[in-house]
Copies of this chain bind each other. A is one copy, B any other.
Amino acid sequence: MSWRKEQRRAERGYHHGNLKEALLQAALGLIAEKGAAGFTFADAARMAGVSAAAPYRHFRDRDELLSSIAQRGFEQFEARLTAAWDDGRPDTVTAFERVGRAYLAFAREEPAFYNAMFESGLPVDANPALQAASERAFNIIRAAAERLAALAPPGTPRPPAMMMALHIWSMAHGVASLFSRGDAARRKLPMSPDELLEAEVLIYLRGLGFPTDRRAPAKGAEPPPVPPEASSGSSVPPGGTPGGPWGKPK
Contact = CB atoms under 8 A, between A and B. Distances in A.
Contacts of A162: 190, 249
Given A234-B234, A236-B235, A236-B236, A200 B170 contact: yes
Interface string A178-218: 11001110110111000011011011111111000000000
A243 interface: yes
Given A207-B204, A234-B238, A236-B234, A163 B191 contact: yes
A150 to B, nearest CB: 16
Nearest to A248: B160
A112 to B, nearest CB: 13
A220 interface: no
Copies of this protein in the assembly total 2
A225 interface: no
The CB with the most chain B CB atoms within 10 A, among A196, A206, A209, is that of: A209
Interface string A123-155: 111100000000000000000000000000101
A35 interface: yes
A157 to B, nearest CB: 5
Contact of A234 (B159, B196, B237): B237
A120 to B, nearest CB: 8
Interface string A44-56: 0000000000000
Given A177-B177, A234-B236, 12 more contacts: A35-B121, A126-B183, A156-B238, A163-B199, A166-B190, A167-B199, A169-B174, A169-B178, A174-B174, A206-B236, A233-B234, A236-B236
Interface of A: 35-38, 118-121, 123-126, 153, 155-157, 159-160, 162-163, 166-167, 169-175, 177-179, 182-184, 186-187, 189-191, 196-197, 199-200, 202-209, 233-239, 242-246, 249
29 contacts: A35-B121, A37-B37, A37-B121, A38-B121, A124-B183, A124-B184, A125-B183, A125-B186, A153-B238, A157-B239, A157-B244, A160-B249, A163-B190, A163-B191, A163-B249, A167-B171, A169-B174, A169-B178, A170-B171, A171-B171, A172-B174, A173-B177, A173-B178, A207-B236, A233-B234, A233-B238, A234-B234, A234-B236, A234-B238
